[in-house]
Structure 1
Amino acid sequence: MKKQAIIFDHDGTLVDSIDAVVFCTNLVMKEAGYAEATPAEIKRGMAYPTLARFSYHTGNRDSDSLNKMSRLFYEAMNRKAVEMVKLYPGMKEALDRLARDGYSLGLLTNNQGIFTRRVAAYLKYSYDMEVILGEDNVPAPKPDPQGVLQACAGLGARPEDCWYIGDGVPDYEVARNAGLKSGLVTWGAHPKEELLSLHGDQYFDHAHELADFFCGKQER
């Protein structure tokens, strides 16, 4: 049977980055003169690309101000936050199983590519990934299909032979928009009930379920 390629979202799917995002978002907002957002508000905002996320939190529509906040956010993330990010339980083992079983693995995120690659190297899963793309590496962020199609091309796979795995509405939408099958994980930033309403192709409650689905059930 032909192996499919699997492309992953990053934050809320592979890694728990909420503490890092909360810290750096509030650092930037405070410096810009805005009130800090609560962790719950920031978690909801993670559905948006970075520039739109700062607009969501501040109500600001000025592109120069938002671009500056986005730039300062990524500077803070790269300077202070790499070691704050953690893989979800069982995820490293799941990625290793998928790679050993012959799947081509990629990563497409609305986070910054430079930061994401640093995290992947720090958490030692970068060697499982053949392609790592951030919002600064693609023409437009999710749910625009161009980035995920770029990832498919980088993996040498047709969209119809690929899955996109994520934890939110933009992840489901980018899979649908690009003709990939969608897998949704329930441990990320979005409520399970919201995800179930999307009618994705497959749902996963734990990383080992994801590996079992693609590689076959493993005795535990």
Structure 2
Amino acid sequence: MNYKTYLFDFDYTLADSSRGIVKCFRIVLTRHQYLTVTDEAIKRTIGKTLEESFSILTGINDPAQLEAFRQEYRKEADVHMNVNTRLFPDTLSTLKELKQRGARIGIISTKYRFRILSFLEEYLPKDFLDIIVGGEDVKAAKPSPEGVQFALEHLGSTPQETLYIGDSTVDAETARNAGVDFAGVLNGMTTAEELQAYPHRMIMENLGELV
């Protein structure tokens, strides 16, 4: 595949932060006596906003309570997230190969941009990525196309020359809504069959298949 712009999801696409995510959710849920939520259930919400995830896990729909949960989670994430996050084995080699080919590279995530930056500074040169769009940068989270559209405008890229890579059906919907091609990677909790229900160029076992 020969695209000029590659936009990646972060969690379960470039990195496995499930250990940190589960830990932060577990602390907040236990604090509020939600003791029966499984790790599997938490992992299935990765890629959604924190408010959506807490609503799914607790059954609560009150915006004020969900916002309070989000604030508690963020404080725990400041402590536990990055130390419990690991890049997938093919991530760095794939990104560097695409960059060497002259491609523009970006990240579109519901995760906070500052947290992605603070994690990646250990692994990539400061200006390696052309753009990172985090949860704080958009009004509407994925599967809204806002983040992708913002990146395309910033990079001067067209939908036709852009590939969006993600691990979840939310990512597949995001690509479809933005009018860009989609490639799925099976690093997360979503199956190939679930991803194949959406328009896609390919479904990959790992990121290395991009290059």
How would you bin the TM-score normalised by the shorter chain?
over 0.9
TM-score, normalised by the number of residues in structure 1 = 0.89
Cα offset for 1:47?
4.2
Greater than 6 Å deviation, 4+ residue runs:
none
Distance in 2 of aligned mates of 1:5 and 1:116: 19
Any idea what SS the aligned residue of 1:128 has?
coil
Change (3 A) 1:57 1:6: same
Q: Which moved more, 1:185-194 or 1:4-13?
A: 185-194
Per-residue CA deviations over 1:78-101 (Å, capped at 9, x if unaligned) read: 222212100011111111111111
Distance in 1 of aligned mates of 2:61 and 2:74: 19
Query: Contact between 2:182 and 2:199, CA under 8 Å: does it hold in 1?
Result: no
Query: Contact between 1:74 and 1:112, CA under 8 Å: does it hold in 2?
Result: no
Give the residue type in structure 2 aligned to 1:96. K
Change (3 A) 1:126 1:93: farther
Per-residue CA deviations over 1:116-167 (Å, capped at 9, x if unaligned) read: 2212223436643111111111121000111110011122211222111000
Report matched runs for 1:37-116 at 5 Å.
37-116=37-116
Alignment of 1:204 onto 2:196: no
Change (3 A) 1:155 1:192: same
Distance in 1 of aligned mates of 2:11 and 2:99: 20
Cα offset for 1:112?
1.7
Alignment of 1:134 onto 2:134: yes
Query: Contact between 2:143 and 2:170, CA under 8 Å: does it hold in 1?
Result: yes
Alignment of 1:161 onto 2:147: no
- Structure 2 regions of 5+ residues with no counterpart? none
Cα offset for 1:44?
1.0
Per-residue CA deviations over 1:53-74 (Å, capped at 9, x if unaligned) read: 0000011111111111112212
Alignment match, 1:9: 9
Any idea what SS the aligned residue of 2:81 has?
helix
Alignment match, 2:184: 184
Distance in 2 of aligned mates of 1:141 and 1:86: 24
Query: Contact between 1:47 and 1:169, CA under 8 Å: does it hold in 2?
Result: no
Distance in 2 of aligned mates of 1:3 and 1:145: 19
Distance in 2 of aligned mates of 1:164 and 1:3: 10
TM-score, normalised by the number of residues in structure 2 = 0.93
Distance in 2 of aligned mates of 1:47 and 1:98: 24
Distance in 2 of aligned mates of 1:125 and 1:172: 29
Query: Contact between 1:77 and 1:115, CA under 8 Å: does it hold in 2?
Result: no
Alignment match, 1:216: none
Distance in 2 of aligned mates of 1:3 and 1:196: 21
Any idea what SS the aligned residue of 1:183 has?
strand
Distance in 2 of aligned mates of 1:47 and 1:97: 26
Alignment match, 2:29: 29
Give the residue type in structure 1 aligned to 2:81. A
**Identity %, equivalent residues:** 28
Distance in 2 of aligned mates of 1:36 and 1:111: 25
Alignment match, 1:143: 143
Change (3 A) 1:23 1:9: same
Any idea what SS the aligned residue of 2:102 has?
coil
